[in-house]
Every structure is written in C-alpha cells, then in structure tokens.
A = this chain, B = another copy of it.
Amino acid sequence: MANITKKVSWSSRGDDSARGEATPLLNGAEEVRYTRQQSGGSIFHIGRLSTVELDEEITSEEDSLRRRSLPKEIPHNEKLLSLKFESLDYDNIENQLFLEEERRMSHMGFRCLEISRWVICGLIGVLTGLIACFIDIVVEELAGMKYRIIKENIEKYTEVGGLSISLLLWAVLNSALVMVGGIIVAFFEPIAAGSGIPQIKCYLNGVKIPRVVRLKTLVVKVCGVICSVAGGLAVGKEGPMIHSGAVVAAGVSQGRSTSLKKDFKIFEYFRRDTEKRDFVSAGAAAGVSAAFGAPVGGVLFSLEEGASFWNQMLTWRIFFASMISTFTLNFFLSIYNGQTGNLSYPGLINFGRFESDTLSYNLYEIPLFIVMGAIGGFLGALFNILNYWLTIFRIRYVHRPCLQVMEAMLVAAVTATVSFTMIYFSDDCQPLGQDQTQEDYPLQLFCADGEYNSMASAFFNTPERSVRSLFHNPPGSYNPVTLGVFTLTYFFLACWTYGLAVSAGVFIPSLLIGAAWGRLFGILLAYLPSGTQIWADPGKYALVGAAAQLGGIVRMTLSLTVILVEATGNVTYGLPIMLVLMTSKIVGDYFAEGLYDIHIKLQSVPFLHWEAPATSHWLTAREVMSSPVTCLSRVEKVGTIVDTLSNTSTNHNGFPVVIQDAASDEPGKVCGLILRSQLIVLLKHKVFVERARSRLSQRKLQLKDFRDAYPRFPPIQSIHVSQDERQCMMDLSEFMNPTPYTVPQETSLPRVFKLFRALGLRHLLVVDSENRVVGLVTRKDLARYHLGKHGLEELQLAQT
C-alpha cells in the first residue's frame, strides 16, 4: 500500500540524515546518534539488499525457489516489515450511499439492529461453547482410549519383560495421531497452525491476515487440535479456542459462508470491517471464556488485544457472548459427565476447587511469591529465546509441508520416548489413593502392589489432568527429584513443540511447567529450618508457579490475572497472582519479548502498538508519509482508473479524490477518499456516466452491491473493460468518503499515531495549508518506527 515507490527514496533519506542533515535527529541523547549511524551502516545495507532481491521474487511464482532465497535475509527478519499484509478499515466509509441509508433508517430500525447484534453475540456464544464441548469430549474419548490401550500393554509386558514393545506402541500411536493433525494443517490450511492467538491479535489490531477467519480454517483447527492433544504432544486445547471463537463470530455475523457458498441474506448491515471486528472481539472473548471458564477474563483479553475505543455497549455485548459460551459448555459437559444441571464445568481446563482454608496466604509469603514471579519471568524469557531461535531455524530449513509433518511426528515420537524413559527409570512410588483411580491412569509398573508410579501421573496423562494433580494432590505425592526432572524435560519438549505445524496452544504446557517447579519450590521450602508446618501445602506454590511461568511466556497483564483468578474459582489468590504476573512481566521484558510478540515480529506484520515510541516527537507527518500519492478526480476516465488499479508496482488501496485546478500544475484540493475495493465494484457494475445518461443501466448502485462483494473483492485483472468503455467517465462523488480525516504536514508522529490508532484508520491524508494532498499515511508508515535497545529504530519494508 503506497509504500513500494517510497522504499528506495526512504532508504537514501535514511543515509542522508545520518550524515548531512543530522541536526534534527541528534536532538536526543547519544544513543540515538549511535543507532542511526548503525542503521545507516550494516543493518541498513542488508535491508536494501533484501529489498531488491525480494522485488525480483515477486515476479517468480515458484514457491521452492522463493524459499531457497530466503535464508539470506532471515537473520534480520524481525527488522523487516512485510508489504504483503493489508489493513482492515475500522473507520466507516461515510459516503452518500451510507448516509442515505442511515438517514432512511428510523429509530426502530436502529433498535432492531441493536437487537440483532445481541442475537448474534448469543449465537456466537452458543456455537463457541458447543465447539469447545465437542473438542473436549472427543479429546477425552480419544486420549482415554489411547491411554487404556497403552496401560494394558504396559501391564502385560511389565511382568513378561519386553517393555520396548509398549514404548513402540505408544510412540506409534502418538505419531499416527499427530500425523493426521499435521497433514491437515500443513497441506490444507497452514494458517490453522499454532494457537492462533498471534493471528487474532493482528486481526483485532487491524491487519488483514488472509484466510484467518474462514470456515475451512475452523474445521482444520478443531480437527488439528484434537489430534495433537490426543497425540500426546506438550500442548493445550485452550489457545485454539480463541481462534475458533473468532472464526465463528466472523461467520455468524456475516450471515453467510463463502466456503459453503451459502448466503442466508441476513445481517447484511454488518458486512463491513467495523462491525465484523466488533463481533470477532466477542468471538475471541467467548473462546477465552469457554477455554478457561473465565467470562470476565475473556472480555478483558479482547479489550487488551483489540479494542482501540472502549464502548460500554460493545463491552456488555462481548460479556454476554462470553457468558453464554461458558454456560453452554458447562451445561453440555455436565450432561456428558452425568451430572446434569450441576454446572461445575465452566471451562475446558478446570483448576479444580481451591478451598479458601487450605489456600490462605500470609504476609511473609508475599516476598516468596515475588521471587517465584522473577523465576517465572526468567524461565519464560529463556523459553521465548529458545523458541525464537527454533522458529528461525524452522523458517530456514523446515518449510516444506512434508518436512513439517515429519517434524511433528518426530516430536510426538520423542515425547512418547522421553516420557516412557522417565517413567521407566523413576523409582518414585506412591501409595494408590482412592481419588486418583477415577480419572487418572495410574501405572503400577515396578512399584509394589497398591502403589503407583508418581512420574507417570505427570507424564502418562493429558496435560490438563497433570496440572490438576500438581495443584491438588496431597503433600508428599511427588518427590522433589521427580518434579525437577519433569520440569526440565517438559520445558524443552514444550519449547520444541510450540511452532510445529499443528494446531495447539501454549497455555497448558506453560502452566504445567510452572506448576511443576512451583510445587518443587513449595516442597523445598518445607526443608527450611523454620518448620514444615507453615509451608504445608505445596499445591499453593504450584498455582503461583504456574501463573509465574505462563506470565513469563505470554506477558499478558490484567486479562491473565482475571483469567487465572476465574479459573481457580477463588479471588483470595487475586493479589498474589497479580504480584507474580507483574514481576514476571518486568523480569521477562528485560530479557526478551512475549512469545506472541516474537512470532508477530518474525512474520514482519505491521502491528501498531498502543502508542508511538516515546522518542519520536522529532518526526512529523511530512517525514513519515508516503508520497507522491496517486490521486483521482471526482469524475475520472475509466481508462485511468483501470490503469491505476492495474499498476502492480504501486499497489495502492486508497486514492484521494481531488479537485484539480485546471490552470495550475499543483496537486489538487482534497474532496474525498475512495478505496480500491469500491472502485472494483464500480467497474464491475460499469457505473459510468455515459451509461447512466443513456439509461442502459436502470438500477442505481446500492450499498448492498458493495456488501455482497465484501470481503473478497475480485482482483482488477478479472474485470474486463473494453476499449470503448475505457473512454467513458466515472463519477465518484456518490461513492467516495467525502470527509476523510486529514492532518497538516507538521503534525508530529505521536499525534498522527494517536489519531490513526484511536480511530482505527487505514488511510490518513496529509495536506498542506491549502488543503492539497501531499501524502498519505498508512499502517506501515507508522508501524515502521519502534523503540529498540538503542533508541528509535526503523524497520525496512520488504515484500516477504
């Protein structure tokens, strides 16, 4: 969007400013000068190299060739900003058609719209809850079957010897399940890989991620997550729920499915980015709510990640969706578990009931919690850094779908092998209680009769159950060595697993790692001379450790606190959890970014953070904007429009409409803004002035035509315009947005940023004092500046 032409000129300007006109740039501290020289030096050089190289790549269509040339620029991947991502338009296009429709609508009409919004949110909640329920039941059944088969096998071979056959069975079962999950993801819908949270973050931020909210993605995601969880990988089924909820929302709110080629002709009013985004927020919240039984946490998650403007009614609707979602899940899971009407299954993960008595904490424990937060922050940062290098490795060498599937299978097999080895060599036997037998799969192995292998209760189980065991098993259920070894192993397994081409979440593995070392921490405290009595319950420390580890990895703040509080079902632990999350964020941020942010950066997504970098006041709109801008006249020749849209080198998406002064050669005065998508629809319907006059087309173009085309507008190449038609004229006045937001050239970057971010804009016009267009600010122009270790840094734009 409007940036490719600028790339080179910007580059040279970067060079100049570091040497020639350095004055305005060197106003800051010494660090700034250092960075700028550096960016003018080595990094910069590479940026330019890659730019040229990548431009050539666009022309070549072969995927393999493209991949092979990638390695050269990979090490600098997070210093680049991809041009392939388009923006969503969260600002209403208030053109004449829209205003006429709004004015025609009565008070009652708006009320009906409001009611439909609530109905949609209710539907989103119900469907999301049902999907969560489906995933949970299928995973339970599949995993149960798998563990029972393996258990029988192990029991058979424990006596007669030859446990390697059991290991083989376990590894093969795991790999087979993961293979299915891997194949559907890698070959059919690669966007369904991972937890989907980074993608939803980007979508809510305003970046169009192709195919992210399609029905096909949802199907692959759901099947994929079932396979990977049942396949015994170190993953959770919670993260993907957020993505699933978002897809449901995007589908339901549009009242149609392009994949199914079905249009229900309802909710047509909501077919635009602004409305759709609101529903997607609700869907994401419903997903969190179903995953953790945390409706308030879900709302906060949506707001933290997506909302640029807090609106009370919207929040309340999101809350409604969340509530319905957790309720639906609760209702059906209660039935499934034979406790109809009991409503004690609010989320996919249940932390189990924490009684206030066992869990009350004392003032002198708070420093301990803070220490645990710091450990969590450190371990989280380590996790992220390791995963970062792994991801770079993957981008470089593991890019073919079949390789990706093989890697996933390898991980599954290794996970099974490691687990088996751990269990095999563990001599930690615990007496078999009454309460474990029901839902766990206790392995006797080499333990005496009436005892079970403690390591197996952590490894030979779904991760959700292992977490719950760590929280609630009575003191003494685990010995410290078991926990230590488990933490270490699981840490690396989880780190290796995240980023595989399977649908999977990182929440549960993080919680599990944290719960393990937290419990270990609690047990070790009991060895302190001050007396074992006060540190009696290691389950409490398991909870705090889990919070610390998760916080250290994902770095969410308020929303994570609330999610954890709701998941534990007890607000007593609110304060410790907050303290721990705060500490782990501060410590973690010192070493590395959050896991999701790392992955977003590695994708070179033009993500807009909350504020412009603090030290960016010396930049103004004039320096930031893209120019020159391709402008159109109010009444423009069809040929010009087609040529403009077809020009691949300037792949613009928004065009200022100007009134050109015939006499002067200066740029015209702004009178509107029109989008590529609108022009495409106009061309498709051949809305030409001449045809209107000759009454060839009776029907006036309506808003409906734009809505029908939304969101997948055809490319310009698919629209045939004859030579005669090229001579026709198109009147844009009715369709353009006559009141686009504008800023003067002198506006500082933070001010531009604030306007852009707060209103969710896609294009912001920069005008001179005469109201003439001099430039255009888009998302990429703003996302390019970020605060690095040495002050303000610029990312290079590239066609990755």
- Residues of A with Cβ closer than 8 Å to B? 27-29, 31-32, 92, 94, 99, 102-110, 295-296, 299, 303-304, 307-313, 315-316, 319-320, 323, 326-327, 331, 340-344, 353, 355-356, 360-364, 557-558, 561-562, 565-566, 569-572, 574-575, 578-579, 582, 610-611, 614-615, 617-618, 659, 669-671, 738-739, 741-744, 746-748, 751, 754-755, 758-759, 767, 769-771, 787, 791
Contact of A303 among B310, B575, B742 (CB under 8 A): B310
Cα–Cα, bound, A296→B103 (Å): 40
New contact pairs (18) apart from A110-B615, A296-B561, A308-B309, CB-CB < 8 Å: A27-B104, A28-B106, A29-B109, A92-B751, A107-B787, A295-B578, A296-B565, A303-B310, A304-B315, A312-B610, A316-B558, A319-B578, A326-B575, A343-B363, A344-B360, A566-B574, A669-B769, A758-B759
Contact of A739 among B27, B611, B746 (CB under 8 A): B746
Known contacts A296-B296, A615-B107; A743/B739 CB under 8 A: yes
Residues A558 and B310 in contact, CB atoms below 8 Å apart: no
Known contacts A570-B571, A769-B671, A771-B770; A313/B31 CB under 8 A: no
In the complex, residue of chain B having the shortest beta-carbon distance to the beta carbon of A565: B571
Which B residues are CB-close (under 8 A) to A754? Answer: 309, 759
Cα–Cα, bound, A574→B103 (Å): 40
Residues B94 and A748 in contact, CB atoms below 8 Å apart: yes
Contact of A343 among B342, B361, B570 (CB under 8 A): B361
A-B contact pairs, 5 of them (CB 8 A): A29-B109, A295-B574, A296-B561, A311-B611, A671-B769
A691 CB → nearest B CB, Å: 27
Residues B769 and A769 in contact, CB atoms below 8 Å apart: no
Cα–Cα, bound, A27→B107 (Å): 11
Residues B304 and A575 in contact, CB atoms below 8 Å apart: no
Which B residues are CB-close (under 8 A) to A320? Answer: 582
Which B residues are CB-close (under 8 A) to A582? Answer: 316, 320
Residues A558 and B739 in contact, CB atoms below 8 Å apart: no
Cα–Cα, bound, A506→B747 (Å): 46
Which B residues are CB-close (under 8 A) to A743? Answer: 739, 741
Residues B572 and A569 in contact, CB atoms below 8 Å apart: yes
Residues B558 and A566 in contact, CB atoms below 8 Å apart: no
Closest 7 CB pairs of A and B: A29-B106, A102-B617, A110-B614, A341-B363, A739-B747, A771-B771, A758-B758
Residues B312 and A309 in contact, CB atoms below 8 Å apart: no
Cα–Cα, bound, A741→B579 (Å): 41
A785 CB → nearest B CB, Å: 13
Residues B309 and A758 in contact, CB atoms below 8 Å apart: yes
In the complex, residue of chain B having the shortest beta-carbon distance to the beta carbon of A346: B575
Which B residues are CB-close (under 8 A) to A360? Answer: 342, 344
A599 CB → nearest B CB, Å: 18
Residues A748 and B739 in contact, CB atoms below 8 Å apart: yes
The number of times this chain is found in the oligomer is: 2
Which B residues are CB-close (under 8 A) to A755? Answer: 741, 759
Residues A310 and B309 in contact, CB atoms below 8 Å apart: yes
A68 CB → nearest B CB, Å: 40
Known contacts A296-B296, A558-B299, A739-B748; A343/B362 CB under 8 A: yes
In the complex, residue of chain B having the shortest beta-carbon distance to the beta carbon of A621: B739
Which B residues are CB-close (under 8 A) to A107? Answer: 28-29, 31-32, 614-615, 787, 791
Cα–Cα, bound, A27→B425 (Å): 81
In the complex, residue of chain B having the shortest beta-carbon distance to the beta carbon of A306: B310
Known contacts A353-B356, A755-B759; A558/B103 CB under 8 A: no
Which B residues are CB-close (under 8 A) to A311? Answer: 610-611
Residues A99 and B748 in contact, CB atoms below 8 Å apart: yes
Which B residues are CB-close (under 8 A) to A356? Answer: 353, 355, 569
Contact of A323 among B303, B343, B578 (CB under 8 A): B578
Cα–Cα, bound, A107→B790 (Å): 9
Which B residues are CB-close (under 8 A) to A315? Answer: 304, 557-558
Cα–Cα, bound, A542→B557 (Å): 34
A99 CB → nearest B CB, Å: 6
Residues A296 and B771 in contact, CB atoms below 8 Å apart: no
In the complex, residue of chain B having the shortest beta-carbon distance to the beta carbon of A108: B29
Which B residues are CB-close (under 8 A) to A308? Answer: 309-310, 758
Cα–Cα, bound, A361→B344 (Å): 10
Cα–Cα, bound, A102→B611 (Å): 15
A647 CB → nearest B CB, Å: 28
Which B residues are CB-close (under 8 A) to A307? Answer: 310
In the complex, residue of chain B having the shortest beta-carbon distance to the beta carbon of A322: B578
In the complex, residue of chain B having the shortest beta-carbon distance to the beta carbon of A561: B296
Residues A574 and B341 in contact, CB atoms below 8 Å apart: no
Cα–Cα, bound, A360→B671 (Å): 62
A532 CB → nearest B CB, Å: 19
Cα–Cα, bound, A570→B318 (Å): 22
Residues B557 and A617 in contact, CB atoms below 8 Å apart: no
A640 CB → nearest B CB, Å: 23
In the complex, residue of chain B having the shortest beta-carbon distance to the beta carbon of A747: B739
Residues A746 and B738 in contact, CB atoms below 8 Å apart: yes
A99, A739, A741 pick with most chain B CB within 10 angstroms? A739
Which B residues are CB-close (under 8 A) to A364? Answer: 341
Which B residues are CB-close (under 8 A) to A92? Answer: 751
Cα–Cα, bound, A614→B323 (Å): 27
Cα–Cα, bound, A92→B355 (Å): 49
Cα–Cα, bound, A341→B353 (Å): 25
A799 CB → nearest B CB, Å: 31
Which B residues are CB-close (under 8 A) to A103? Answer: 27-28, 617-618
Which B residues are CB-close (under 8 A) to A739? Answer: 743-744, 746-748, 751
In the complex, residue of chain B having the shortest beta-carbon distance to the beta carbon of A318: B558
A762 CB → nearest B CB, Å: 15
Which B residues are CB-close (under 8 A) to A565? Answer: 296, 571
Which B residues are CB-close (under 8 A) to A671? Answer: 769
Contact of A312 among B304, B344, B787 (CB under 8 A): B304
Residues B575 and A323 in contact, CB atoms below 8 Å apart: yes
Residues B319 and A558 in contact, CB atoms below 8 Å apart: yes
Which B residues are CB-close (under 8 A) to A295? Answer: 574-575, 578
Which B residues are CB-close (under 8 A) to A751? Answer: 92, 94, 739
Which B residues are CB-close (under 8 A) to A558? Answer: 296, 299, 315-316, 319
Known contacts A363-B331, A561-B296, A758-B309; A99/B617 CB under 8 A: yes
A572 CB → nearest B CB, Å: 6
In the complex, residue of chain B having the shortest beta-carbon distance to the beta carbon of A331: B363
